[in-house]
């Protein structure tokens, strides 16, 4: 009895053990199953995204063997920014902006660069997918070039488009003093625009006597939106003009050479369409009005002059103030408007699955104790993130601040996928994305270029205040790397 009653008492308990075990097993099976199902669909989505990416842009350059040799010297010189005033600048070959170098896709650029400045410098090829050793980042991709020394930059750009080169040493000072220029890589068979004109926009902080204000990196600029100048120039001219004939169809290649200030383009009269962003053709041309170019950014515009003579202005109104950039004078006899479909890149993937993919890297941006931080680190302290080449990678930028951050990644192009939870149909590959206050922006990329690449805010005062990190792309599989 006792035994039985003992048994009787213990029976429900001993039944509970296998029941609990079964329950735990079932829950585990469901959880593990969901996990694998989840990661399975994540992996599937990534595979689709990578397939869609194929052919979006060349995986490697195709050199034709044609070498374009350039000799460029950086040195102090004097120019006239404001009429009648001398401004001492630091310049590439004596001019600000530095010369516009035009090459054709497939050409190899070989630039023998001499530093005749009183300080160290380098040249960075902003937006160009150069070999990592040609990227011009001091201490990472090359030692800074000392005064009196030379360095040869040699590479074959894999992409045609509008690019920007600038000093990457103490750039808040060196770019402000004038060390920047443009590189245009022409298509092998360019479409026949009536004119193809570069428009380099810069803002200058000058003293009343015309000298460059040397108060670089002052804490107010660093902690706000960087250094904004009061004198705006286009191609070095405070009164830039473009002369065109009625009916002309013109490619305008805007480059923002300012260290901090974005511009919002306004084309008052004629039809203007954006055909390229950050050098790369977009999937579909889009209206150019209100296009924002953040520092270091490029926007190529396809614009047709009206059939009648007249004058109009291209202005910018990023702030409430409207600033004239260029006066366009349309005069002379009417010409036939060149008739061709605007160039575009229909290979840009839609990446609609991308919203379902997990974030691989999140960069949280904040101002902490007067320093700009990325995930709590302020350069030169950083933890380089690592990614695989040829794999879809989703990067989230979270702006935990009230300031602007044009986040720029060297050596790669990405598309915007989502802004503040809203899917974005970007249709464009870019090297920078502008974050406004409290923005959360997801971008997607497939890294094709191996190496250690800088990732920083292109408000250069923010970079100087610590907002720099690095992204390491592992070496590519030689089979994948084959063109």
- Cβ-contact 140, 472 below 8 angstroms: no
Which of ligand C2O, Cu ion, none lies near 430, with the C-beta cut-off 5 to 8 A by kind?
none
First to last CA, the chain: 85
Which of Cu ion, ligand C2O, none lies near 298, with the C-beta cut-off 5 to 8 A by kind?
none
Q: How far is the CB of 89 from ligand C2O (least distance, A)?
A: 19
- Identify the residue among 144, 457, 464, 473 touching Cu ion (CB under 5 A): 457
Which of ligand C2O, Cu ion, none lies near 296, with the C-beta cut-off 5 to 8 A by kind?
ligand C2O
- Residue 435 interacts with Cu ion (CB under 5 A)? no
Q: How far is the CB of 309 from ligand C2O (least distance, A)?
A: 39
Could you give the count of Cα atoms lying within 13 Å of 387 in the half-sphere of its Cβ? Answer: 24
- How many residues in the shown chain lie near Cu ion by CB under 5 A? 4
Which of ligand C2O, Cu ion, none lies near 251, with the C-beta cut-off 5 to 8 A by kind?
none
Q: How far is the CB of 475 from Cu ion (least distance, A)?
A: 31
For 219-368, list the strands marked E by DSSP. Answer: 231-234, 241-244, 249-256, 263-267, 272-277, 280-287, 292-293, 298-304, 310-316, 323-330, 361-368
- Of 124 and 430, the one with the shorter C-beta distance to ligand C2O is 124
- DSSP class per residue in 395-420: EEEEE-SSS-EEEEETT--BEEEEET
Which of ligand C2O, Cu ion, none lies near 227, with the C-beta cut-off 5 to 8 A by kind?
none
Residues 461 and 478: their CA atoms lie apart, in Å, by 39
- Contacts of Cu ion in 377-406 (CB under 5 A): 405
Q: How far is the CB of 456 from ligand C2O (least distance, A)?
A: 6
- Count Cβ atoms below 10 Å from residue 425 Cβ, excluding itself: 13
- Of 312 and 436, the one with the shorter C-beta distance to Cu ion is 436
Which of Cu ion, ligand C2O, none lies near 410, with the C-beta cut-off 5 to 8 A by kind?
ligand C2O
- Count Cβ atoms below 10 Å from residue 308 Cβ, excluding itself: 9
Which of Cu ion, ligand C2O, none lies near 266, with the C-beta cut-off 5 to 8 A by kind?
none
* Closest residue to ligand C2O in the complex (CB): 126
- Of 262 and 343, the one with the shorter C-beta distance to Cu ion is 262
- Residue 459 interacts with Cu ion (CB under 5 A)? yes
Please tell me what DSSP assigns to residue 145: B
Q: How far is the CB of 127 from ligand C2O (least distance, A)?
A: 8
- Cβ-contact 311, 327 below 8 angstroms: yes
Residues 315 and 307: their CA atoms lie apart, in Å, by 21
- Of 129 and 249, the one with the shorter C-beta distance to ligand C2O is 129
Could you give the count of Cα atoms lying within 13 Å of 209 in the half-sphere of its Cβ? Answer: 3
- Count Cβ atoms below 10 Å from residue 420 Cβ, excluding itself: 11
Beginning with the edge strand found earlier in the chain, give each strand of the sheet holding 161-166 in spatial order: 98-104, 180-186, 161-166, 124-126
Q: How far is the CB of 432 from ligand C2O (least distance, A)?
A: 8
Rg (CA), the chain: 27
- Of 276 and 454, the one with the shorter C-beta distance to ligand C2O is 454
Which of Cu ion, ligand C2O, none lies near 124, with the C-beta cut-off 5 to 8 A by kind?
ligand C2O
Q: What angle do CA 357, 363, 366 make, to 5 degrees?
A: 145
Q: What angle do CA 280, 415, 169 make, to 5 degrees?
A: 70
- Of 270 and 466, the one with the shorter C-beta distance to Cu ion is 466
- Of 160 and 454, the one with the shorter C-beta distance to ligand C2O is 454
Q: What six digits make up the tokens of 175?
A: 């770019």
- Residue 408 interacts with Cu ion (CB under 5 A)? no
* Helix boundaries (H) for 386-446: none
Which of Cu ion, ligand C2O, none lies near 249, with the C-beta cut-off 5 to 8 A by kind?
none
- Of 283 and 462, the one with the shorter C-beta distance to ligand C2O is 462
Q: How far is CA 248 from the centre of its chain?
A: 30
Q: How far is the CB of 190 from Cu ion (least distance, A)?
A: 35
Which residues here bind ligand C2O, judged by CB under 6 A? 124, 126, 166, 168, 296, 408, 410, 454, 456, 458
Q: Give residue for tokens 């089979």.
A: 479
Which of Cu ion, ligand C2O, none lies near 454, with the C-beta cut-off 5 to 8 A by kind?
ligand C2O
Q: How far is the CB of 390 from Cu ion (least distance, A)?
A: 30
Closest-CA residue to 153 (of 163, 97, 189, 201): 163
Residues 301 and 287: their CA atoms lie apart, in Å, by 9
Instruction: Give the interface with Cu ion as residue ranges (CB under 5 A).
Output: 405, 457, 459, 462
């Amino acid at each position: 009895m006792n035994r039985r009653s003992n048994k009787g008492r213990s029976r429900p308990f001993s039944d509970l053990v296998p029941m609990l075990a079964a329950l735990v097993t079932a829950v585990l099976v469901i959880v593990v199953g969901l996990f694998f199902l989840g990661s399975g669909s994540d992996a599937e989505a990534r595979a689709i995204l990578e397939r869609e990416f194929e052919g979006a842009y060349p995986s490697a350059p195709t050199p034709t063997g044609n070498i374009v040799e350039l000799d460029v010297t950086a040195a102090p010189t004097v120019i006239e920014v404001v009429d009648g005033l001398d401004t001492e600048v630091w310049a590439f070959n004596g001019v600000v902006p530095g010369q516009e170098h035009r090459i054709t896709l497939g050409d190899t650029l070989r630039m023998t660069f001499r530093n005749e400045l009183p300080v160290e410098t380098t040249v960075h090829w902003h937006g160009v997918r150069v070999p990592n050793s040609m990227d011009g980042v001091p201490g990472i991709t090359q030692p800074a070039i000392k005064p009196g020394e030379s360095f040869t930059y040699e590479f074959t750009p894999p992409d045609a488009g509008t690019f920007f080169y600038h000093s990457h040493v103490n750039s808040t000072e060196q770019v402000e003093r004038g060390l920047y220029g443009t590189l245009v890589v022409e298509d092998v068979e360019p479409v026949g625009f009536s004119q193809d004109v570069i428009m380099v926009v810069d803002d200058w902080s000058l003293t009343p006597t015309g000298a460059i204000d040397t108060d670089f990196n002052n804490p107010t600029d660093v902690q706000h939106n960087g250094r904004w100048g009061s004198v705006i120039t286009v191609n070095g001219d405070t009164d830039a003009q473009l002369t065109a004939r009625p009916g002309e169809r013109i490619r305008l290649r805007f480059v923002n050479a300012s260290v901090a200030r974005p511009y919002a383009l306004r084309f008052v009269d004629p039809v203007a369409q954006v055909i390229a962003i950050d050098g790369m053709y977009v999937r579909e041309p889009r209206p150019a009005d209100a296009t924002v170019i953040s520092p270091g950014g490029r926007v190529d515009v396809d614009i047709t002059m009206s059939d009648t003579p007249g004058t109009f202005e291209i202005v910018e109104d990023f702030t409430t103030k409207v600033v004239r950039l260029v006066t366009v004078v349309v005069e002379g006899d009417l010409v036939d408007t060149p008739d061709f479909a605007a160039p575009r890149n229909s290979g840009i993937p839609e990446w609609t699955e991308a919203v379902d993919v997990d974030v691989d890297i999140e960069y949280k941006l904040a101002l902490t104790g007067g320093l700009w931080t990325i995930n709590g680190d302020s350069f030169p302290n950083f933890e380089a993130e690592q990614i695989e080449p040829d794999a879809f990678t989703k990067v989230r930028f979270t702006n935990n601040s009230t300031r602007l951050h044009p986040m720029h990644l060297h050596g790669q192009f990405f598309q915007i996928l989502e802004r503040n939870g809203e899917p974005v149909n970007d249709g464009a590959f870019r090297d920078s994305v502008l974050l406004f206050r409290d923005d959360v922006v997801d971008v997607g990329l497939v890294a094709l270029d191996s190496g250690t690449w800088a990732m920083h805010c292109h408000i250069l005062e923010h970079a100087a205040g610590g907002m720099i990190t690095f992204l390491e792309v592992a070496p590519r599989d030689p089979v994948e790397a084959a063109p």
